[in-house]
A and B are shown apart, each in its own frame.
Chain A
Amino acid sequence: MRRFTILLLSAAAAHALHAADGEGFAIISRCGSCHGGSKPAGGLDLTTRQAALSGGRSGPSALTPKDAATSRIYQLAAAGKMPPGAPLSKMELGSLKAWIDAGAEWQEQGAKRADANWWSLLPLKPPLAAPNLDAILQARLSSKGLSFAPAASRPVLLRRATYDLHGLPPTPEEINAFVNDASPDAWARAVDRHLASPRYGERWARHWLDVARFCESQGYERDKVRDNIWPYRDYVIRAFNKDKPYSQFVREQIAGDVLQPVTHEAIAATAFLVAGPWDEVGNEQQSAIMKARVREDEYEDLIGTVSQTFLGLTTNCARCHDHKFDPILQRDYFGMKAIFAGISPADRPYEAPQDRESRLAAVRPHVEKLAWFDKQIQAFDGPAASTDPDVRFTFNYDARDLGAFGLHGQLQGGARVENGKLILSKGSQSMKLPPTPNDWRERTFEAWVKLADLNALGQQIVAIANPFDRINDGLRYGSRRTRQWGTSSEYDYRTEKPSGRDENQAGAFVHIAAVWSADHAIRIYRNGALSYTVTPAFNSGKGQLQSYPAEISQITIGGGLIGEIDEIRLYRRALDATEIERSFREGPMPAGTLAAPGRASLIAEQTAYRMANLPKTFAPPTIFTFRTAPPPPINVLERGDPAKPGEPVTPHFFSLSVPPEASDAQRRTALADWILKQPIAARVIVNRVWHYHFGRGIAATPNDLGFNGEAPSHPELIDWLAAKFIGEDGWSLKKLHRRILLSDAYRQSGRFDPQASEKDPENRLYWRFPAKRLEGEAVRDTMLQITGMLNPEMYGPSFKAFDVTVSNSHFYNLKDSDEAAFRRRSLYRMNVLSARLPLLESLDCPDPSMRAPSRGVTTTPLQALGLMNNLFVLRYAGHLAKRATDDNPGDPVRRIWQLALGRDPSPAEWQDAQSLRKAQDLTSVAWAVFNSNEFVYVE
């Protein structure tokens, strides 16, 4: 009986003290930062109950459960001695005492995590009886004695919706038309009209690009411009505007390059996987293990992005250990890595196979015709070299190749051909060839060169480069040492110190040849004799002979050389010493001896033919996505470190299992299909869309519906929306928007109700419509729009609001102008990591390299300074004054209010503005409106 009583009491006490209890544990768990680790302060470890009970150097009585008074921890805390320098408050002391007196139980981590029954992972349970979303919200409101605010006025509602759907304000005419539309479906039609506008896709693409951490530069050390990823941005705009089913949108971004039939557009979609920063230097470094770590970080970014964007799961947290809070094992992380193991970030030709076929087919007859011209012309050009080069420039007439390929050089930077020589008078001059039509591996580069400066370093004679893999090899004078002939390569990976005789022949031609052969040796010949041989001493593949694939590799003559070249001969094979000697003896073709009538007209004819029939280059366009290869086996890595491989894993994720022999395409397709079957996938997207309309998701962490994410205010609403979305709405985002915008919840006003605020200070039950501050892009775009300056041009390469200087790193000097390109929407401004616009940045445009499922809304003096003093704002205040005067010369102040704020000024405002106008001018009034709270505030 007695025992029973105690139990009852302690249960009641435990209940009553539960909160204080938790606080007490929270206090003790902070002590672990000193009283923990390998050398806990005073020898007392407070990180586990067992350790705490065994005490420290001051004795075993540190902690006595159920007896705070004799526990030294409590005594010292009560005396203000612990924690040192930061004594506990009275309340905290009370909590600590309560916790010790209640038994000093450590709260187990294990109890504080999500399992497979976590709400977001369970099947959808929509409240089927609910006729619409309002019913769901109202049920919760009325249970608290609350209700929706009265409906917003029509001008307010239209301004709200136009910003939500377009990121721009409605025109005064649109507002008038809507206000005066008496038909019962006026609102529904207004919503439909907005959804049908191309501005909708632009607005929502920007949201998606935030989530996709869309970067138009590579970040890291060089932060090079990435000017071939805009097709992804265009893909996203088009997907929204076409109302591409979200299911397809997901599939294409994961596996668009392998979904049949492959389309141009779907290839662009896959840039999603790699749109974040990419460490070029890290991928090039020598150390294999360091490089592997860079790759592993790339995977973490990829897995995090896929998983958070589509599944609201932070799988990336399971790289080093099982997820601490969600039911994701480290094995699952590496299972997902195995799904993507076949891809590695790279530029790739950006055309679907059928496009490539037709491109080549269209070009082929013209290429044959050009070859016919070449043959005719070469008949004039004299004897072929007996060594039979693949590429041969004699410069006897011009920059045309007499070799097998007929590559026509383009002179750059003032380089010129004169008297049978290529004259390069500055280091910046060169001759570029179009992409080579054949593969190069073993090779010989020969040249007759006259140096103008014997002592200058880095005088490039001829080089071949594969820009996509960032490798190059060349023949160079002043290679690593002055007065030495040698070779060049990226990072000198294949360039050893030269050991030839110092060159001293100025003012005369020297025959020089470099031979790269299959044994990885490089031989340098001078005037027909072997000068020296090197074998690159690198301890990795970068030291070996490199291959240069057709179509993407390019040859450049000169670039650093100051002097003249008489002839260039390039071979796709390693010539031997005898052949080099013969070529040297044969000498270059004499200049000017073969001029013949008819040649010039043939060339003119050929040039005209080329101009009329062929594109400038045969190289296909590229996009930054990835290349694919058969996926290698994947192992779990201990602590996520490639230096510590553990057990092998098969491609899998949760319940998805893909056979290990599956191809890259099969793996990614299987993942996309699996994702779309998960209820959480639909929950994530409806919550995301809700977030952008209401400024906060039903669950406020759109990328994380796991344990650490914020609990949803209305899980039943998420499920209802998700069920409609994948059910009758067929994954249509426009239908989802429509459901939301046509609701009473969306149409209510932002009226403040102190009583409601008391009950629900954060408005999580939606007793009013929450106001939003405009994003940076919307502020800038609004200024463009209302001044009539907006250039509505959609799609295509981004505009570059900067000049670039390169000193290994790319440095971006911002510039601004009112030229047409700069007047495009902010979405089209090139999103370079280190070239962010201060005005947009201060208005919380996120760092592009970070996945930003929601944006911060901060208010800072720098933001105010930007709107006050930025020259863009000042100029556009002037443009607004002018536009308002043009529109309404009699009352331009009224027009400014209409254009910028969507309403007429009150008489008092009008009076005040008139005085400001009189004291200053109308631009002053426009500037003031741009800086007003109302301008950036959407009710």
Chain B
Amino acid sequence: MSTRRQFLLDPANLGSIVLAWLAAGGSGQDIARAAAANTSPYAPKPTHFAPKVKRIIQIFCAGGVSHVDTFDYKPELIRSDGKAMTGKGEVDTFFGKPGNLMKSPWAFRQYGQSGKWVSDLLPNLAQRVDDITFIHSMVAQSSNHTPATFQMNTGFQRNGFPCMGAWLSFGLGSENDNLPAFIVLPDPRQLPAGGAINWTSGFLPAVHQGVAFRTKGEAIVDLETPSVIEPSRRASEMEFVKRRNEEHLAKHPGDSLLDARIRAYELAARMQLSVPEVTSIDKEPQHIRSLYGLDAPVTEDFGRNCLLARRLLEKGVRFVQLFHGGAFGSPRINWDGHENIAENHKKQAASLDKPLAGLLTDLKQRGMLRDTLVVFNTEFGRTPITQGVDEKGRDHHPNVFTCWLAGGGLTPGLAYGASDEIGWGVAANPVTIYDFHATILHLLGMDHKRLNYYHNGVRRRLTDVHGQVIDGILRG
């Protein structure tokens, strides 16, 4: 080990280097790389067993993506178009106005070696089916947006439970302590209903809270030194603080908090450098920008988030969550196609399809798909019947719907589980959200029963007291 490296690795030297460097205005990449001080709140932690993937990106579609109009091909629904649905027991939909069966407005075609049927709604994603593992037998417990969203993201239907990203930050830490372990990229059109409620760390320590990147101005609140403060001024202030803190530490031995705070200021300084670096996607070459749809207005915003997500993952961020869709006002900025499924889903798919397909392509061509997990999920599906007689929309449908995964440890091109002939109920291999979560944790090397945290009497888990890994989708 060279002397320089030893010097860099000594935590005692780090702060002054970063600060000196800040004042000098150079590039801090090598310093950042050397900064593996294990006092970081994001320090990586061992997995329970060998992981299949190291990082995860979740695309959550607000509003409820219709399974029968996207990935779940139902010829019987075409044949029964306009007929009353029979033999499905008590029909108890969210708005309580069951109509008749309605075929998808889009034709379905087969794609790839797997011959997977996908609707014309998502022509670009359709090209990626051989990389995707579909689950057609998802079952949600709530037909109400927010509890369903909460459950998909936290395992519970109530406010205040930690998100999957918070759990993974808590359980695994991060490969890069210059960036938060759990980053959220909300839909640039609108925040999801409840805003920051959706990336809470709940009862887990605050450090595991999702950090939402903003699309305008500084990416993280309070990240940048305000422009009125000269860099040299800030540097001398920081050095002064460091001197005071070290004197104070010397007088107060035996309290790790004090040392941790000194380190936190060093991490903060490094984060000030690494965040703008990772978010400056303008450096990406044109063909990559086109791949994500950055050259067309309709795909530009979500494409930017997809590309940013890839850059964050490359830097070692553990969990990136993308929202596609906002709250439930009018006009709808989400997949909540109550009034007219054709209009609504067409509009939403237009901004999602190309960027998301681009992300999969890009991850694959970089070899990242091998050890990355891409999760595509939503609140629930939509009814194969219309909402109201002679209407064109579909109501919420938790009974069965489709989610998909792509990446390491999975059997690609697989369609697991099945809905019944019209997409009303589960026909084979039901998968609960607990199972879904247990499987995600499993792929990341975590036993969902052992990843737990004591809170008010209960060792809480992402999977509550349920969940079984879906063996049928794992590779080999």
The residue in chain B whose Cβ has the minimal distance to the Cβ of A219 is B159
Cross-chain contact B245 with A932 (CB below 8 angstroms): yes
The residue in chain A whose Cβ has the minimal distance to the Cβ of B198 is A834
Stretch at the interface among B187-195, B302-310, B352-360: B187-195
- B327 to chain A: closest CB distance in Å? 4
Cross-chain contact A834 with B222 (CB below 8 angstroms): no
Chain B 386-427 interface residues, beta-carbon cutoff 8 Å to A: 388, 390
Neighbour of B147 across the interface among A282, A286, A492, A870, CB < 8 A: A282
Cross-chain contact B211 with A862 (CB below 8 angstroms): yes
The residue in chain A whose Cβ has the minimal distance to the Cβ of B192 is A809
Stretch at the interface among A624-632, A728-736, A853-861: A853-861
- B227 to chain A: closest CB distance in Å? 11
The residue in chain A whose Cβ has the minimal distance to the Cβ of B245 is A933
Say if the beta carbon of A220 comes within 8 Å of chain B. Answer: yes
Which residues does chain B contribute within 8 Å of A871, judged by CB atoms? Answer: 226
Chain B 228-252 interface residues, beta-carbon cutoff 8 Å to A: 229, 233-234, 236-237, 240-241, 243-245, 247-249, 252
Cross-chain contact A221 with B236 (CB below 8 angstroms): no
Cross-chain contact B248 with A279 (CB below 8 angstroms): no
Which residues does chain B contribute within 8 Å of A83, judged by CB atoms? Answer: 49
With A287-B92, A870-B222, A933-B261 known as contacts, the answer to whether A220 contacts B147 (CB < 8 A) is: yes
User: A316 CA to B247 CA in the complex, in Å?
Assistant: 48
Which residues does chain B contribute within 8 Å of A290, judged by CB atoms? Answer: 92, 94, 142-144
Cross-chain contact A281 with B146 (CB below 8 angstroms): yes
Stretch at the interface among A69-77, A537-545, A608-616, A664-672: A537-545
Chain B 163-209 interface residues, beta-carbon cutoff 8 Å to A: 180, 190-191, 193-197, 200-203, 205-207, 209
Say if the beta carbon of B127 comes within 8 Å of chain A. Answer: no
User: A82 CA to B329 CA in the complex, in Å?
Assistant: 53
Which residues does chain A contribute within 8 Å of B141, judged by CB atoms? Answer: 293
Say if the beta carbon of A920 comes within 8 Å of chain B. Answer: yes
Say if the beta carbon of B328 comes within 8 Å of chain A. Answer: yes
- A866 to chain B: closest CB distance in Å? 5
Cross-chain contact B207 with A858 (CB below 8 angstroms): yes
Say if the beta carbon of A372 comes within 8 Å of chain B. Answer: no
Chain B 255-286 interface residues, beta-carbon cutoff 8 Å to A: 255, 257-258, 260-265, 267-268, 270-272
With A808-B329, A920-B237, A937-B257 known as contacts, the answer to whether A704 contacts B267 (CB < 8 A) is: no
- A317 to chain B: closest CB distance in Å? 6
Cross-chain contact B50 with A847 (CB below 8 angstroms): no
Say if the beta carbon of B254 comes within 8 Å of chain A. Answer: yes
- B199 to chain A: closest CB distance in Å? 10
Say if the beta carbon of B33 comes within 8 Å of chain A. Answer: no
User: A227 CA to B388 CA in the complex, in Å?
Assistant: 37
- B398 to chain A: closest CB distance in Å? 9
Stretch at the interface among B108-116, B288-296, B314-322, B450-458: B450-458
Chain A 273-296 interface residues, beta-carbon cutoff 8 Å to B: 276-277, 279, 281-282, 285-290, 293-294
Cross-chain contact B248 with A809 (CB below 8 angstroms): no
Neighbour of B220 across the interface among A809, A846, A865, CB < 8 A: A865
With A491-B95, A856-B206 known as contacts, the answer to whether A932 contacts B50 (CB < 8 A) is: no
Cross-chain contact B471 with A39 (CB below 8 angstroms): yes
Say if the beta carbon of B123 comes within 8 Å of chain A. Answer: no
Which residues does chain B contribute within 8 Å of A38, judged by CB atoms? Answer: 468
Say if the beta carbon of A706 comes within 8 Å of chain B. Answer: yes
With A37-B468, A849-B159, A851-B456 known as contacts, the answer to whether A538 contacts B223 (CB < 8 A) is: no
Cross-chain contact A853 with B456 (CB below 8 angstroms): yes
Which residues does chain B contribute within 8 Å of A497, judged by CB atoms? Answer: 388, 390
The residue in chain B whose Cβ has the minimal distance to the Cβ of A934 is B248
User: A325 CA to B244 CA in the complex, in Å?
Assistant: 48
Neighbour of B194 across the interface among A301, A709, A833, A864, CB < 8 A: A833
Say if the beta carbon of B128 comes within 8 Å of chain A. Answer: no
Say if the beta carbon of B364 comes within 8 Å of chain A. Answer: no
Say if the beta carbon of B130 comes within 8 Å of chain A. Answer: no
Neighbour of A314 across the interface among B159, B229, B258, B458, CB < 8 A: B458
Cross-chain contact A932 with B244 (CB below 8 angstroms): yes
With A539-B96, A912-B243 known as contacts, the answer to whether A219 contacts B222 (CB < 8 A) is: no
Chain A 850-900 interface residues, beta-carbon cutoff 8 Å to B: 850-853, 856-866, 868-871, 874
With A314-B457, A838-B221 known as contacts, the answer to whether A858 contacts B41 (CB < 8 A) is: yes
Cross-chain contact A807 with B329 (CB below 8 angstroms): yes
The residue in chain A whose Cβ has the minimal distance to the Cβ of B190 is A807
Render A73-103 as a binary contact track against B, CB cut-off 8 A, 1 for contact. 0000000000111100000000000000000
- B140 to chain A: closest CB distance in Å? 11
Q: Identify whether the interface residues of A are mostly helix, strand, loop, or mixed.
A: loop
Cross-chain contact B94 with A928 (CB below 8 angstroms): no
Cross-chain contact A294 with B327 (CB below 8 angstroms): no
Cross-chain contact A286 with B95 (CB below 8 angstroms): yes
User: A834 CA to B198 CA in the complex, in Å?
Assistant: 9
Which interface class (under 10, 10 to 19, 20 to 34, 35 or more) fits B? Answer: 35 or more
Say if the beta carbon of A532 comes within 8 Å of chain B. Answer: no
- B56 to chain A: closest CB distance in Å? 18
Say if the beta carbon of A445 comes within 8 Å of chain B. Answer: no
Say if the beta carbon of A842 comes within 8 Å of chain B. Answer: yes
Cross-chain contact A865 with B222 (CB below 8 angstroms): yes
Say if the beta carbon of A184 comes within 8 Å of chain B. Answer: no
Cross-chain contact B252 with A811 (CB below 8 angstroms): no
User: A223 CA to B224 CA in the complex, in Å?
Assistant: 30
Cross-chain contact A858 with B205 (CB below 8 angstroms): yes
Cross-chain contact A30 with B447 (CB below 8 angstroms): yes
Cross-chain contact A222 with B193 (CB below 8 angstroms): yes
Which residues does chain A contribute within 8 Å of B201, judged by CB atoms? Answer: 847
Cross-chain contact A285 with B193 (CB below 8 angstroms): no
- B202 to chain A: closest CB distance in Å? 6
Chain A 797-819 interface residues, beta-carbon cutoff 8 Å to B: 806-809, 811-812
Say if the beta carbon of B225 comes within 8 Å of chain A. Answer: yes
Say if the beta carbon of B344 comes within 8 Å of chain A. Answer: no
Cross-chain contact A86 with B49 (CB below 8 angstroms): yes
Say if the beta carbon of A773 comes within 8 Å of chain B. Answer: yes
With A223-B195, A868-B222 known as contacts, the answer to whether A863 contacts B264 (CB < 8 A) is: yes
With A708-B458, A858-B41, A933-B262 known as contacts, the answer to whether A219 contacts B207 (CB < 8 A) is: no
Cross-chain contact B264 with A864 (CB below 8 angstroms): yes
User: A676 CA to B261 CA in the complex, in Å?
Assistant: 43
User: A750 CA to B95 CA in the complex, in Å?
Assistant: 62
Known: A287-B94, A849-B158, A865-B220. 18 other contacts (CB 8 A): A276-B159, A281-B145, A538-B96, A701-B456, A701-B457, A703-B457, A809-B191, A809-B328, A812-B195, A833-B194, A850-B203, A851-B456, A859-B264, A864-B261, A868-B222, A869-B223, A871-B226, A933-B248
Of the A-B pairs whose beta carbons lie under 8 Å apart in the complex, a sample of 20, sorted by A's number, is A38-B468, A220-B159, A223-B194, A277-B159, A281-B144, A282-B147, A285-B94, A287-B92, A287-B93, A703-B456, A841-B206, A842-B206, A847-B203, A860-B207, A862-B220, A865-B268, A866-B222, A869-B226, A909-B244, A928-B241
Q: Lowest 3 CB-CB distances: which A-B pairs, in order?
A: A314-B457, A85-B50, A286-B96
